[in-house]
Structure 1
Amino acid sequence: MKLIMSSASPFVRKVRVAAIETGQQGDIEEVPVATTPVKTADQVWAANPLGKIPALVLEDGRALYDSRVITRYLDARVAAGLYPEARLWDVLTLEATADGILEAAVLMVYEGRVRPEEMIYAPWVEAQWGKALGGVRAINDRMMDQLAGGLDMAQIAVGCALGYLDFRHPSRDWREPCPELAAWYAEFDRRPAMIATRP
C-alpha cells in the first residue's frame, strides 16, 4: 500500500499513528508530496478527485481517501479494535469532534499562508479559533470519560488534534480552560506512535 501524504498534515498523522498502533506501518510505503489547496500535486489528484491528503492506494490500485475511511480500513484489515462495536457511536462522534477541531485549525493556517495579506479576514480567523476551542472545551467538559480505557480511534484523533494546535497555533492557549484534557494529552503524547509522527 502507498500513503500519499505530508508529515505536517494532522489528518495524515491520524493515519500514521493508527498504522503504527496496529502494527501495519511496515505494509505502507509513505509517498511524501508538496501540495496546497491552490496548487495540488499531481499524485494527490491521481489518488483523490477532491485533491486532498491523505490517500491510501491499495495493492489493486484502488484508492481510499478521507482519514476516517482509511483508519476504518486499517482497523478492519487486522481486526485491531480501534472502533469497538459497544462504543462505536461515541467513538465516531468524538473522532468527528477532533476532526472538526482540525478542520478549523487548518483553515486558520491556510488563511495566513494562501491568501494575500491584504485579503486575510481576521474576524473569520477568530471565528475558526472559536470553533476549534469550542470543540476542545466540549471534550474537556463532557467527553473525558470517553478518553479512558483501551486505545481507540477517538483517542488517536483527539491526540493528533491537540498536537496540531500546539504545532501551528502555539500562541493560543487551549490548556488553561481545559485542565483535565491537558493532563490527559500530556500522558497520551508520550506514546511511541505519537513521538514517531511529530511534524
Structure 2
Amino acid sequence: MKLLYAGPSPFVRKVLVLLHETGQTADIQLQQVVASPLDPDPALTAINPTGKIPALIRDDGPAIYDSRVICRYLDARVHAGLYPESRIWETLTLEATADAMMEAAVLMVYEARFKTEKQQSKDWIEGQWAKVNRAVSILNTRWTSHLSGPLDVAHIAVGCALGYLDFRHDDRGWRHGNDALKDWYQTFSQRDSMMKTTPK
C-alpha cells in the first residue's frame, strides 16, 4: 500500500501513529506530495479530488482518503480493536473533536502562509483558536476518564492534535488551566509511536 502525505500534517501523523501501534508500518510505502490548497499535486487530486491528505492507495481496492476513513480501514485490516464497540460513540465523538482541533489549527497556519498580511483576518484567526480552546477545555474537564482507559483511536487523535498545537501554536499555551490534559499528554507523548512520528 502507498500513503500519500505532505509535511508535518497532524492528520497524516494520526495514521502513522496507528500504523505503529498496530504493527503495520512495513506494509506501507510513503509518497510525499504537495498538498497546497492553492495548487495541489496532480498525483494527489487524482486520488482525492479535494486535494487533501492523507490518501491511501490500497492493494485490494480503490484508493481511500480522510484520516478517519483510513484509520478505520487499517484498524479493521488487522482487527486491532481501536474502535471498541463497547464505547464506540464516545470514541468517535472524541476522534471528531480532535480532528476539528487539527483542522482549526491548520487553517490558522494557512491564513498566515497563503494570504498577504493585508488579506489576513485577525478575527478569523482568533475564531479558529476559540474552537481549539473550547475543545481543549472540554477534553480536560469531560474526557480524561476516557483518555485514562484502554488505548483506542481517540487517544491517538487527541495526542496528535495536542502535538500539532505544540508544533505550530506553542505560544498559545494550551496547557494553562488544563492540568489533567497536560498530565495525560505528558505520558502519552512518550509512547514509542508518538516519539517516532514527532513532527520536525
Secondary structure of 2:56's counterpart equals strand
AA matched with 1:144: T
* Other-structure match for 1:138: 138
Q: Structure 2: how far apart are the matches of 1:94 and 1:61?
A: 29
* Other-structure match for 1:32: 32
Q: How many residues align?
A: 199
Give 1:106-125 correspondences, 5 Å limit: 106-125=106-125
Q: Structure 1: how far apart are the matches of 2:26 and 2:36?
A: 27
Q: Structure 2: how far apart are the matches of 1:190 and 1:71?
A: 21
AA matched with 1:58: R
AA matched with 1:118: K
* Other-structure match for 2:98: 98
AA matched with 1:178: N
Q: Offset at 1:42?
A: 1.3
Q: Structure 2: how far apart are the matches of 1:187 and 1:130?
A: 26
TM (norm. structure 1) is 0.98
Secondary structure of 2:159's counterpart equals helix
Q: Offset at 1:34?
A: 2.5
* Other-structure match for 1:12: 12
Q: Offset at 1:47?
A: 1.1
Q: Deviations over 1:71-124 (max 9, x none)?
A: 000000000010000000000000000001111101100000011111000010
Q: Which of structure 1's runs of 4+ aligned residues deviate more than 2 A?
A: none
AA matched with 1:158: V
Question: What runs of 5+ residues in structure 2 fail to find an aligned partner?
Answer: none
TM (norm. structure 2) is 0.97
Work out whether residues 47 and 63 of structure 1, in 8 Å CA contact, stay in contact via their aligned partners in 2.
yes
Q: Structure 1: how far apart are the matches of 2:171 and 2:107?
A: 16
Secondary structure of 2:171's counterpart equals coil
Q: CA RMSD in A?
A: 0.9
Work out whether residues 111 and 120 of structure 1, in 8 Å CA contact, stay in contact via their aligned partners in 2.
yes
Amino-acid identity (%):
55
* Other-structure match for 1:41: 41
Q: Structure 1: how far apart are the matches of 2:194 and 2:43?
A: 26
AA matched with 1:29: Q
Question: What runs of 5+ residues in structure 1 fail to find an aligned partner?
Answer: none
Work out whether residues 7 and 197 of structure 1, in 8 Å CA contact, stay in contact via their aligned partners in 2.
no
AA matched with 2:97: T
Give 1:162-177 correspondences, 5 Å limit: 162-177=162-177
